[in-house]
A and B are shown apart, each in its own frame.
Chain A
Amino acid sequence: MAAVLAGVRAVAHRLVVPALAVLAWYVIAKRELVSPVFLPTPGGVLAAARDMWRADTLGEATRYTLGSALSGWIIACVLGVVVAIVITRNRFLVDALAPPLDFVRSLPAAALIPPATLLFGFGRAMEIPVVVLGAIWPVLLNATQGLLETEPQLHDVARSIRLSRLRRVYSIELPAALPAILLGVRTALSVAVIVAVVAEMVGSSGGLGYELILASQRFQSGEVYALVFLLGAIGVAANALVHALERRIVSRPGSLSTTTDSDN
């Protein structure tokens, strides 16, 4: 009972600031202290969201964006881990590849859109490769780091019990690197959503990014706000989902923090 009450209090605690913000927003918009063209009322945003939902623009755009983001994300995760496994077989290779990869990594994903449209035209065919190129870095870097930092002692153990090379990767190195890889995977998902939205803003005729640009060009402020909130919610939900998954997978007894032997 006390625990439930504490939980309710914690949630209420988190909602104080958002509630105040919405209230302030409501007052400002209702009194038209800012022009309604720029700032609709919270009710106006909800109405716009409802209308878009009924016309199925919202659902379709969300499906479109999530489709590109998720397929790009999955490809990026697989590719990132595979490349990391291959290059970490050889420390020299990692060092040699680092500078050119760093250079490519420094390119904003959005900057890849113009060349990608030349190569793949407009639409999904361009969107997914751009998402992959944008989202692969967190996976690749974290996986490489994780694989390189496998406890040297574990390597010795693997050698002493004569594990095959493949087996060593699968049974020792990958599980040891798993927390790092999952962190990369989580970051990659946020990046994938962002890149998909940007790609849609520039060179697609569907998706939340496309709808956003369209709404802002038509000064449909209600729709713009509704879409921005939806994107925020998707970003948070995606992160929370992968985070939960991550904790599920990595909650091994070894990863628990040890308590120190001191007073208090």
Chain B
Amino acid sequence: MTVGKGARAASVALVVVVLGAWEVVVRAGWISFETIPTPSATVRAWSHIAANGQLAGPVLHTLQFFMISFLLAAVAGIVLGMMIGLNKRCYSYLHASLEFLRFVPPPAIIPLVLLVSGFTDRSEILIAAFASLWPVLLNTAKGVSVIDPQLRDAGHALCLSRTQLLVKLVMPAALPLIVVGLRLALSLCLIIVITTEIVAIRQGIGFALVSASSALQPATVYAYLVTVGVLGTVVNVAFRLLERRVLLRGWSTS
């Protein structure tokens, strides 16, 4: 979907107006700035934490743990998903159980993992990787198990070997679904990493948010919050580029 120039300008104008109104409302004292900072105070707080290193440290921690967890989940999800999806019998037995596990709220496993491996870095990775494993696994399993019968017939009729069938037809045909799983896992992973930091692990941007909040520094809280939003947006945009340029490059556009 292409957004027209006009819409983009309106979008910017809208943001400016909302921020301006916010500034006025808080300055006028209609809302206490103990609870909500003005946009300008947020900007000042942001440049402050950016200058004294309170921003880079937590951001790097979060990004690092996010990437490790996501890679783990992606690799494990694709491998397990293929093993399960390609084995019809196995898939038919596991399907119901996997669907059940999908609806277990991911944060529920936070205390479980904490119980087993404590408030450690390993816990953070385990929790995020485990939570984001499911979308990849389920989509991969589904993708490789439901190849179009006519395409499979075509492959058989061309006398493709089992390996050729898998590499040339089944896997490419499943790719869009696998990519959907990866995209879901990506957002989920970042969410869970930050959630874990907020709930339990005393590190990263999630913890920075909590500690600024308990120190009653609203401007700093909002500065971190904006950073979280930028982080999420950047990660999503980067993945979408990767998706179009690399992962689904062979797939027709338009």
Interface residues of A (CB under 8 A from B): 13-14, 16-18, 21, 37-39, 92, 95-100, 102-104, 106-115, 117-119, 190, 193-194, 197-198, 201-202, 209, 212-213, 215-216, 219, 221, 224-225, 227-228, 231-232, 235-236, 239
Contacts and interface: CB of A to CB of B under 8 A. Distances in A.
Contact of B111 (A37, A213, A236): A213
B93 A16 contact: yes
A190 B108 CA distance: 13
B169 to A, nearest CB: 21
B82 interface: no
Contact of A111 (B3, B7, B35, B209): B209
Query: For chain B, which range describes its interface: under 10, 10 to 19, 20 to 34, or 35 or more residues?
Result: 35 or more
A118 B36 contact: yes
B11 A17 contact: no
Given A17-B94, A202-B198, A213-B199, A103 B229 contact: yes
Contacts of A236: 100, 103-104
Nearest to A190: B103
Interface in B1-32: 3-4, 6-8, 10-11, 14-15, 18
B146 interface: no
B14 A118 contact: no
Interface stretch (B133-141, B155-163, B171-179, B217-225): B217-225
B138 to A, nearest CB: 14
Given A38-B116, A110-B206, A201-B110, A102 B233 contact: yes
Nearest to B13: A96
A111 B115 contact: no
Given A14-B95, A115-B36, 20 more contacts: A92-B6, A95-B10, A96-B7, A100-B18, A106-B229, A106-B236, A108-B194, A114-B198, A114-B213, A115-B213, A115-B218, A119-B35, A209-B107, A216-B115, A225-B112, A228-B108, A232-B101, A232-B105, A235-B103, A235-B104
A201 B218 contact: no
Given A97-B14, A111-B209, A221-B115, A17 B97 contact: yes
B218 A232 contact: no
Contacts of B10: 92, 95-96
- A-B complex: 7 closest residue pairs judged by Cβ atoms: A106-B232, A114-B213, A95-B7, A14-B96, A216-B111, A96-B10, A110-B195
B133 to A, nearest CB: 16
Interface in B51-101: 92-97, 100-101
Q: Which of B11, B104, B111 has the most CB of A within 10 A?
A: B111
Contact of A117 (B106, B112, B116, B213): B213
Contact of A96 (B14, B104, B232, B236): B14
A68 B181 CA distance: 30
Contacts of B232: 106-108
A111 B11 contact: no
Nearest to B2: A95
13 contacts: A14-B96, A103-B233, A106-B232, A110-B195, A111-B194, A111-B206, A114-B225, A117-B213, A119-B35, A194-B106, A224-B111, A228-B108, A231-B105
Contact of B195 (A92, A198, A219): A198
